A and B are shown apart, each in its own frame.
Chain A
Amino acid sequence: MHISDGVLPISVTVGSYIAGAAIVAWSVRRTNSEELPKLAVMTAAFFVASLVHVPLGPTSVHLIIPGLTGALLGSSAFLSIGLGLLLQSLLFQFGGLTALGANALMMGLPALACGWFFQRFKGWIQLRQAVVGGLAGALGTVLASIILAILLMTGGEDFFGVAKIALLAHVPVVIIEGVVSAFTIGFLARVKPVLLQTSFRHPTKAAHG
C-alpha cells in the first residue's frame, strides 16, 4: 500500500522528504560509487518483482518485498527502494510524488532493518538461510505496515481508524510475503549464493562482511 498525495499533513510530508534524503545520502556513501549503475539495473529487477501478483482467495495481492531487497542489497537497499518508488510514482501513480519521502521511509527503513537481520542470523546452512530469509520477508512487511500506521496517525485522531484497518489489511500480505521470501532465499542459496552476500557494499567494509 502506497500513500497517495494529500493524505499526510504538510509538515510530515516535508519532514519525511528531508529524513529520506539524509538516509539516501548515507546509503550512497555506503555504496561503491563504481557500482551505482549496477544498482540501478538491479532496482529494475526488484521493481518487476514487486509487480508480481499472488492470488489470495477471490482477489490477489502484490508483493512489496522490502525484506528481500534489504537481504540482497544491505545498506544500498534504501537507495534502490527510493529509486524504485520514484519510478513507480512517475510511471503508475502508485504513491504520490509529494508523498515520496514518506513512502521511502515506509519501505526503506524496514529494508535496512531486514538486511541487518538477515546478514546477522543467516548462518551457512541453506535451510537456515531460507528460514531467516522468510522471517526477514515477514518482518519487512510488518515494519512497513507499522510505519504506515504511524505516518497516518500523524494526521490526528481522525486518522486512527484508517490506520488500524490499514494494519489489519497487511496481515495476509505478511504471511504470503514471508513464505515467498523463504522460497526465494532458499532458491538463491541453492542456485547463486553469491547474491546473498550483499554485493554492493563499500569495498573497505566488504572485506570481512
Chain B
Amino acid sequence: MADVINIQMPLWQLSLLALILFSAIAIVVVLLRCIAHEPSAVGEDRDWSVPSLADGCGTSLLHRWDVRCKILTILVCSFAVASLSHLAPALIAIGLSLIILFIARVSFAKVVLRLLAISGFVGMFLVIMPFSVPVHNGDTVLVFNGMDRLSFNLRGLLLAGTIAAKAIAIALLMEPLLSTAPFPVTLHELSRLGIPEMVGQMVLLSYRYLHVFRHEARRMSWGMQVRGFRKRTELATLRAVGNFIGMLFVRSFERTERVFDAMRARGYRGRFPEPAELRLQAKDVVLAAAWIAVVAALIIYDRIV
C-alpha cells in the first residue's frame, strides 16, 4: 500500500480553499433559487409553499406509461442508485435521471425546489467530510502550515461527492414519479401493488387537510402580526409560538371531528371511489424491463470499478 501523500500548503491557501468551496455551494444555491422563483407565466402567481401534486396531465412517454410499472421501476431504480458506491456510476445515474426528466417534461421549477431542499443536508457532507474523514494509507491529504490538526482529505471530498451525486440522481427522479399522473391515481395504484388501501387513503386525507391547516395557520399568523407580534430571539416569541401551535391543534382537532362526521354522513365505509381504470400493456412492461436493465448494468459497473 502506498503511504499517505502529504501535500504541504501555506495557511492562506486554506482560507482560499474554504472560500472556493463555500462560494461554489452558495452560488449554486442562489442560482437554483433564482430559477425556482422565476414567475412561470405572466399574471400567474403560484404558491409553491405547499407544492401541488394534482396536475398530472401531459402526453409524454411517462404520462402514458402504466402507473404501476412506473412506480415499481422508479422505486427499484432509486434503491439501486442508493446502493452505488463509486463516483463515476453515480454521475452516470445523474445523467440517466436528466434524460428521464427531459422525456417526462415536468415543471423545471419544481425539480429545482427539490434540489434546494436537499442542498442543506448534502452541503453539510461536502463541507465537513473532507476535514473529518480519518486518514488511511493511499490518501491524498492537503496539510496546511501551522495547522497540524486541520487537513483536507481528498478521499473525504470524493466520498461526499458520491453521496451528493446519489442524492441528486434520486431527487431528480421524484418529479417524474409523482407529477406524471394525478396524485390519487398514484396512491390507488400503490394499493393495487399490495400496500394496504387504508395507507393510501390516509395519505390522501392528510394531503388534503394539509392545505386547509396551512391556510388556518397563515390566517392565525396574520392576526398575530396585525396585533404587533414580531418574531425575535427571546422567550416571549417562544411562548407565542407555543400557544400558536396549541391553538392550531385545538382547531385542527375540532375540525377533525367535524370532517369525520361529515364523511360518515355521506356514507363513508372505509373506501373512496376508484379514480381510474388502467390496463397493463406489453409495451409498459418492455419499458420497465429496459430501464431496469440499464440500472442493473450500472450496478455491475459499480461493482467492477
Contact = CB atoms under 8 A, between A and B. Distances in A.
B202 A39 contact: yes
Interface string B227-266: 0000111010111011111111110110111011001000
Contact of A36 (B114, B198, B239, B259): B198
A177 to B, nearest CB: 10
A121 interface: no
Contact of A57 (B82, B83, B233): B233
Nearest to A24: B199
Contacts, number: 230
B226 interface: no
Nearest to A53: B231
B108 interface: no
Interface string A83-109: 110110011111011100000000000
Contact of A52 (B162, B169, B208, B244): B244
Nearest to B238: A179
Nearest to B211: A44
Q: How large is the interface on B (under 10, 10 to 19, 20 to 34, 35 or more residues)?
A: 35 or more
Interface string A31-50: 00000111111111101110
A54 interface: yes
B170 A6 contact: yes
Interface stretch (A112-120, A139-147, A156-164, A201-209): A156-164
B255 A162 contact: no
Given A6-B170, A192-B250, A41 B242 contact: no
Interface in B73-123: 75, 78-79, 81-84, 90, 113-115, 117-118, 121-122
B217 A161 contact: no
Nearest to B162: A6
B232 A55 contact: yes
A148 B213 CA distance: 29
Interface in B167-214: 167, 169-171, 174, 178, 198-199, 201-203, 205-210, 212-214
Interface stretch (B2-10, B11-19, B124-132): B124-132
A195 interface: yes
Nearest to B221: A52
A7 B163 contact: yes
A97 B170 contact: yes
A46 B185 CA distance: 25
Nearest to A13: B82
Given A54-B231, A98-B78, A184 B166 contact: no
A48 B210 contact: yes
A56 B259 contact: no
B305 interface: no
B253 A93 contact: no
A92 B51 contact: yes
Nearest to A89: B174
Contacts of A90: 53, 174, 178
Interface string A52-66: 111111001001010
A83 B202 contact: yes
Nearest to B252: A45
A186 interface: yes
Nearest to A137: B242
11 contacts: A6-B90, A6-B170, A7-B125, A36-B201, A37-B268, A44-B207, A44-B213, A96-B171, A162-B129, A183-B243, A186-B242
Given A51-B214, A91-B53, 12 more contacts: A5-B166, A6-B167, A7-B163, A37-B263, A37-B268, A44-B213, A84-B206, A93-B118, A158-B159, A183-B238, A187-B246, A188-B250
Interface of B: 50-51, 53, 75, 78-79, 81-84, 90, 113-115, 117-118, 121-122, 124-125, 128-129, 131-134, 156, 159, 162-163, 165-167, 169-171, 174, 178, 198-199, 201-203, 205-210, 212-214, 216-217, 231-233, 235, 237-239, 241-250, 252-253, 255-257, 259-260, 263, 268
Closest 3 CB pairs of A and B: A161-B132, A183-B242, A6-B166
